[in-house]
Homo-oligomer: A and B are copies of this chain.
Amino acid sequence: MAPEPGRSERICCAPVADHALSAGEAHDLAAVLAALADPVRLRIFSIIASQEEICSCNLEEPLDKSQPTISHHTRKLAAAGLIVGEKRGRWTWWRAVPEQLVALGTALSLAEPVEG
């Protein structure tokens, strides 16, 4: 389901404010942040994450977006490792990946208050 299954989008453990990020670190972290930096994707993710699992057919109506648009956004969220989809019968069921979200929160957290 994910377009790039082998691609490692795992976020490293280093908090943003701990040291100056390298170009590579910034690139990887920005990719995951970009996946959430859209109101529609953020709502899609919150709907998926706040439930056990949900199929795409239940996303169009509350978000008032077309089916291709929903498909486009779920694809991006999956590519970022934030959700995973499983095709059962005719429907695709989406689940959130809590580990990736927690890793993102950790990466953004201050290691310790900047000593002033």
* Chain A residues with a Cβ under 8 A of chain B: 16-21, 23, 26-27, 29-30, 33-34, 36-40, 42-43, 45-47, 49-50, 52, 62, 96, 98, 101-102, 104-106, 108-110, 113-114, 116
Contacts of A20 in B (CB 8 A): 43, 46-47, 50, 62
Chain B residue at minimum C-beta to C-beta distance from A115:
B52
Contacts of A37 in B (CB 8 A): 30, 33-34, 36-37
Most chain B CB inside 10 Å of its own CB: which residue of A40, A45, A46, A105: A46
The reply to whether B46 and A19 contact each other, CB–CB distance below 8 Å, is yes
Contacts of A21 in B (CB 8 A): 42-43, 46
Q: Which of B19, B33, B101 contacts A17 (CB 8 A)?
A: B101
Chain B residue at minimum C-beta to C-beta distance from A106:
B105
* 14 sampled A-B residue pairs with Cβ under 8 A: A16-B49, A19-B50, A20-B47, A21-B46, A23-B39, A26-B40, A26-B42, A30-B37, A33-B33, A33-B42, A52-B114, A98-B110, A101-B110, A108-B108
Beyond A21-B43, A30-B36, 14 additional pairs, beta carbon < 8 A:
A16-B36, A17-B50, A18-B50, A19-B46, A26-B39, A26-B40, A26-B43, A29-B42, A30-B37, A33-B37, A37-B37, A49-B110, A98-B114, A101-B109
